[in-house]
Amino acid sequence: MPRIAPWSHFTRSLRDSLSQLSNIIPTSTFFIVTMQDGFFTLVRLFHKEDENSNDLTVLRLSELTGFELMHQTQSLVIADTANHVKGESLAAQRIGAYMGVPILLQDGTLYGTLCTANVEPYDFNRTELHSMQLAADMLAYVIELERMAIHDPLTGALNRLFLERYRVGLQKEFGEAFALIYIDLDGFKTVNDMYGHECGDSVLRVIVQRLKRRIRMEDVVVRVGGDEFVVVLTDIIRNGNVVSNVVQRLSRSLDVEYSIDSRQFRVSASLGVSIFPQDGRDFETLIQAADKAMYSVKHQGGKGFSIYSEEMVGKLVGDVKSSLG
């Protein structure tokens, strides 16, 4: 399952830009190819003869050949694939002409390639290549802006805006069923109070790295508050054991002794789990359910996990009432 395209919030402006590009270059199809999770992924943004081209089409290209040519740091222009040394695999896909321009981020990272293709051979000119390069630069700029907007600058994790901005698309992207894990650190305030915020910030960065190392590539880590995180385990219907396995791994990995700047201390975490769709059909409801499950762990002293259920909530309410006399 491909990850959410970071430019999806700007789909309308990008579609308009590529529509204008198609008025300059008479080829039939414009698309982006990226490498995600070890697979080539195609995001088609415009097709002249397709009435449905207003909708993004995302395809995983693991079984097709020729797409390795579409992931290079240099522009590649092939007027006739049948008579080009690098064009054989493209010709086999019934592509007669091809031009690809890299989408390079500020740090030089190759994010993907802006491509145009035609069934028949076509002799691209310099103006058309320059237009493609300008469009690729614009895409890189938009991606950089979006990345900054949806990432936490301290830890590098995704932030709450990511969930808010993409909540509708995420539910489609994450599959028929996914799990939401709400994590609240135990003892973190004590670390901040005793050793200062710089030490606390270091702990948060370590926490995020621990979380990322113990989930799958297609799962996501979101920092939603000071010491609160959400992990989304995607497409869990294919692996019924993934939720319990990952939650236990996360709980164990966070309940450790930390050593930062020669200071040693222990921080653990309380985790609450909710499942889409049975515990809620939107992110707000799922987060509330996972938060209640997490709070039930806190109520019992912290350090552990709980999976949301109506019975669990009833017991928690009963315990709270009893404690109040």
pLDDT at 134 over 80: yes
Cα 239 to Cα 179, 235, 242: the distances in Å are 12, 8, 6
DSSP 136-204: HHHHHHHHHHHHHHHB-TTT--EEHHHHHHHHHHHHHHT-S-EEEEEEEEESHHHHHHHH-HHHHHHHH
User: What average pLDDT does range 150-157 have in this prediction?
Assistant: 92
Residue-wise pLDDT for 254-304, tens only, equals 998 888 888 888 999 999 999 988 898 888 899 999 999 999 999 889 899
pLDDT for the residue numbered 242:
80
Q: Are 16 and 23 in contact (CB under 8 A)?
A: no
Cα 97 from Cα 99, distance rounded (Å):
7
Q: In the chain, what are the domains?
A: 8-149 (3.30.450.40), 158-323 (3.30.70.270)
52 confidence band (pLDDT: 50, 70, 90): low
Residue-wise pLDDT for 92-127, tens only, equals 888 899 999 999 988 898 888 888 999 999 999 999
| Mean pLDDT for all residues in the chain | 81
Consecutive H or E run containing 26: none
pLDDT at 46 over 70: no
Phi, psi of 186 (to 5 degrees): -100, 130
Q: Are 206 and 34 in contact (CB under 8 A)?
A: no
> E strands, the chain, where?
29-36, 39-47, 57-60, 76-78, 97-104, 110-118, 158-159, 178-186, 220-223, 228-233, 256-260, 263-276, 304-307
pLDDT for the residue numbered 228:
96
- Residues 6 or more apart from 128 whose CB is under 8 A from it? 24, 25, 99
Structure pTM?
Answer: 0.73
